[in-house]
């Protein structure tokens, strides 16, 4: 039996790791590839801000999930001791005494093998295998630099990119096309034009009112992600997140999507508190709204697909005096609900009162 041993920080694991390992497996007819994320490295400390060992282990498992020969081991990742390759090899040798061991290493590591701990013993136990270079030419450090710039997605598995964004590892920010695709997949087709138009309007308003455009864009893209869910589905999300809400009237059930949208935006897409709050209040408003919250409320109200009496005038006001636009929008909402025999939500009255007193 031929066993390949492939260790590394995998910080993060990427397609280059997987392709190089798969190529080596084919070339050397390896039966089992043991992938070993390092825990405490005796050679080099992990960069500041690196994910926890648990998260790197999960990502490594995700990266190699499609391999028929790979097994991701936790033998080093959860160890508190310094992990020398010779010690790891001895453990594998004990479990597979008759196996032929091949150590997969990159060029930089290959050139320094003779400096490793007990290298003479190590090289008697394993056959070094130089990882092929005709694969994706990217390093983990380069990917870490790309992720905060909303780049680098193509070098990662779909599951790992989603995991990195969910936990905002490496200070990652989501690729806009990816975030939009995710949001669209959660929407009914008829709602997509509204959400796209809301994104465009939010960016314009953000520029006008000196709001972080990235925050405005994330909030606009994600603000309706739970809109198509029914009452029971929304309540399940609320219960899963341990949130308590006041009893709602039948006419207020449609307000739930603001709460659940904010919860999922934070738990699944790792948005900031500012963005989550903007999503939370985009339907009812509230007293003491931030400028970002006002931008999302108004963008949702006046985006280009909206067509109701007074919308054109409201759009103009929004770029001249956003507080006045908020007052007009809240009053229109209250009057519309009353005309249909519906009592407006208390937070809407609170928002209107707060704006009027200023």
91-100 pLDDT per residue, tens: 999 999 999 9
Domain with CATH 3.40.50.620 in the chain: 2-167
Q: Are 296 and 216 in contact (CB under 8 A)?
A: yes
To the question of domain 175-356 being in CATH 3.40.50.720, the answer is no
Report the C-alpha gap between 173 and 165 in whole angstroms: 7
Numbers of helices and strands, H then E, in the chain:
17, 5
Which of 3.30.300.350, 3.40.50.2000, 3.90.1210.10, 3.40.50.620 would CATH assign to domain 2-167? 3.40.50.620
Q: Looking at the predicted structure, is the pLDDT value of residue 211 above 70?
A: yes
Report the C-alpha gap between 289 and 238 in whole angstroms: 23
The pLDDT tens digits of the residues spanning 75-117 come to 998 877 767 899 999 999 999 999 999 999 887 787 788 888 8
The arithmetic mean of pLDDT across residues 155-173, rounded, is: 98
Give the burial class of 300: count Cβ atoms within 10 A of its Cβ; 0-12 exposed, 13-18 middle, 19 or more buried. buried
The arithmetic mean of pLDDT across residues 277-293, rounded, is: 97
Report the C-alpha gap between 323 and 357 in whole angstroms: 11
Q: What are the structure tokens assigned to 122, written together?
A: 């190590």
The pLDDT tens digits of the residues spanning 240-279 come to 999 888 766 656 778 899 999 999 999 999 999 999 999 9
Q: Identify the residue whose tokens are 């006419």.
A: 251
Question: β-pairing, 70-72 with 32-37?
Answer: parallel
Q: Are 2 and 31 in contact (CB under 8 A)?
A: yes
Domain with CATH 1.10.3210.10 in the chain: 175-356
- Characterize 94-104 residue by residue with b for buried, 16 or more Cβ atoms within 10 angstroms of its Cβ, and e for exposed: eeeeeeebbbb
pLDDT of residue 250: 56
Q: What are the structure tokens assigned to 308, written together?
A: 């109701």
Report the C-alpha gap between 135 and 33 in whole angstroms: 18
Q: Are 7 and 85 in contact (CB under 8 A)?
A: yes
């Amino acid at each position: 039996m031929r066993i390949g041993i492939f260790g590394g920080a995998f910080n993060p694991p990427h397609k280059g790791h997987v392709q190089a390992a798969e190529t080596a497996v084919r070339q050397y007819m390896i039966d089992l590839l043991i992938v070993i994320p390092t825990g405490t490295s005796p050679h080099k400390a992990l960069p500041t801000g690196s994910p926890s060992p648990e998260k790197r282990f999960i990502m490594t498992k995700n990266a190699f999930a499609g391999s028929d020969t790979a097994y991701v081991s936790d033998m080093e990742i959860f160890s508190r001791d310094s992990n020398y390759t010779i010690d790891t090899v001895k453990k594998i040798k004990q479990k597979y005494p008759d196996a032929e061991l091949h150590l997969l290493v990159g060029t930089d590591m290959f050139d320094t093998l003779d400096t490793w701990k007990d290298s003479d013993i190590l090289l008697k136990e394993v056959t070094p295998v130089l990882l092929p270079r005709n694969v994706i030419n990217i390093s983990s450090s380069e990917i870490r630099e790309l992720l905060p710039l909303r780049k680098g997605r193509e070098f990662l598995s779909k599951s790992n990119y989603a995991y990195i964004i969910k936990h905002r590892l490496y200070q990652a920010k989501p690729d806009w096309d990816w975030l939009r695709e995710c949001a669209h997949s959660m929407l009914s087709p008829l709602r997509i034009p509204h959400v796209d138009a809301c994104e465009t309007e939010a960016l314009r308003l953000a520029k006008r009112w000196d709001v972080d455009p990235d925050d405005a864009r994330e909030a606009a893209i994600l603000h309706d992600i739970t809109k198509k869910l029914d009452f029971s589905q929304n309540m399940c999300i609320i219960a899963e997140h341990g949130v308590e809400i006041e009893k709602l009237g039948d006419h207020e059930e449609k307000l739930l999507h603001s709460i659940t949208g904010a919860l999922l935006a934070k738990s699944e897409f790792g948005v900031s508190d500012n963005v989550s709050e903007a999503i939370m209040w985009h339907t009812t408003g509230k007293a003491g709204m931030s400028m970002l919250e006002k931008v999302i409320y108004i963008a949702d109200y006046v985006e280009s697909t909206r067509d109701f009496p007074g919308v054109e005038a409201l759009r103009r006001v929004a770029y001249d005096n956003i507080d006045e636009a908020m007052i007009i929008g809240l009053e229109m909402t209250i009057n519309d609900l009353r005309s249909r025999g519906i009592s407006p939500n208390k937070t809407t009255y609170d928002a209107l009162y707060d704006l009027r007193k200023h």
